[in-house]
Structures are given as C-alpha cells and as structure tokens.
Amino acid sequence: MRKYFCLAVALLIFSISDAQSQEKPVTQAVFLELGGAGLAYTFNYDFRFDQENINSWGMRVGAGGFSLNGKTLLTAPIQVNRLLGSKKHFFEIGAGTTFINFRNRVTHTNYYQNPQTNGSYYISEEYTRKNYSWILDSGDTPAFMGTLNFGYRKVPEDGGFLFSANLVPAFNHEGFWPLWAGVGFGYAF
C-alpha cells in the first residue's frame, strides 16, 4: 500500500511540474498609455493572435480622451503589432489608425454702441469648433490619423506589471510628425 501511495505522490508531483512547464505564455494585457497612439491618454487591451506564442502578431484597441472647459476629445487607437524578443524584454513594432472626435464649444461676444441712446449692448453667439490640432491639424472631426509604433515592452514571463515606452510617428492628409512618444503601464496575463 505504501508503494502505491508513494507512486501516486510522485506521479502527482511530476504532473504538476509538467503542467507548470507547459503553461500558456502571457499573451494578453490591459494598460494605460500616456501620449502614444491615443494622443492624450488611453485605456488599452492588447492580445496576440497566436495564444501560444508571445513573439507573434497581435492587436491593441483602446479608448481615451478628455473633457475640459468646453473642449471634448475622444480618441480610439487600433494597431496591429508584433513583439520580438525573449524572456521578458521585447521590441515592439506596429501600425494602425486613431479615430479622433473633437468638439470645442466657443462663446463669442460682440459689443455695440447705440449712437441714439449713448447706451451699449452686446450680442453673444455660441458655436462649436470641430477642428483639432495637436500633433497635426486634423481638419474637421471626426477624422482618422495614421500611426506607427517602435518601442520597448517589458512583459514578465508569468504575467504581472507591464511597462512600455514607444516612439509613435503620426501622419494624415496634412503631413507627417516623426517625434511623438508614449509610455504605458499595466497588467499582462
């Protein structure tokens, strides 16, 4: 009986260690990016198309923006990317587009003098500007801006804290902006 018990414990330990060595690699992540493809900040989800290989093509989708003093910005970056590296240090390359929707509520007041009564009056007009210009002038929004991605991503082998730093050139119908960057912090699983 004791032999069978020792054999069962040995098989259990072997199967647990074998299962741990065959665990699925870390191929998904959620992260906050400051700057980068989302311009201001975005919350992102990133995943690999091949769930068994972190060194594969993947995709990230995100959403972010702000609303401050009558100005509202919504951005949604989508990029296809590839991680190249080993262990926990990776070079990241990618390309995609960012949806931009901007609104700026503006109140303009004109003062007029009435020559007959020597009084003054004013007319206030409110209108909305849709033209967004941060890195490149986007024209009236909604609009799209192309993005590239070249950078570093640290992904722990067993999951956990993720860090990335990227150079994100941007382009649209108005031109090309090569020097935009972003940093990301999140969780890989």
**pLDDT score of 62 more than 60:** yes
Q: List, for residues 2-49, the tens digit of each pLDDT value.
A: 555 455 545 545 544 444 445 788 999 999 999 999 988 999 999 999
Q: What does the block give as tokens for 70?
A: 């009558």
- Tell me the percentage of the chain whose pLDDT exceeds 90: 53
What's the burial of 30, exposed, middle or buried (CB within 10 Å: 0-12/13-18/19+)? middle
Q: Are 59 and 82 in contact (CB under 8 A)?
A: no
Q: Give me the mean pLDDT over the 129-136 stretch.
A: 69
Higher pLDDT, 47 or 1: 47
**d(Cα 99, Cα 66) in Å, to the nearest integer?**
14
Q: List, for residues 142-168, the tens digit of each pLDDT value.
A: 999 999 999 999 999 889 999 999 999
Q: Give me the mean pLDDT over the 170-189 stretch.
A: 93
Q: What does the block give as tokens for 25?
A: 């690699």
**d(Cα 58, Cα 78) in Å, to the nearest integer?**
11
All structural domains of the chain, each given as residue ranges with its CATH number in brackets, are 28-188 (2.40.160.20)
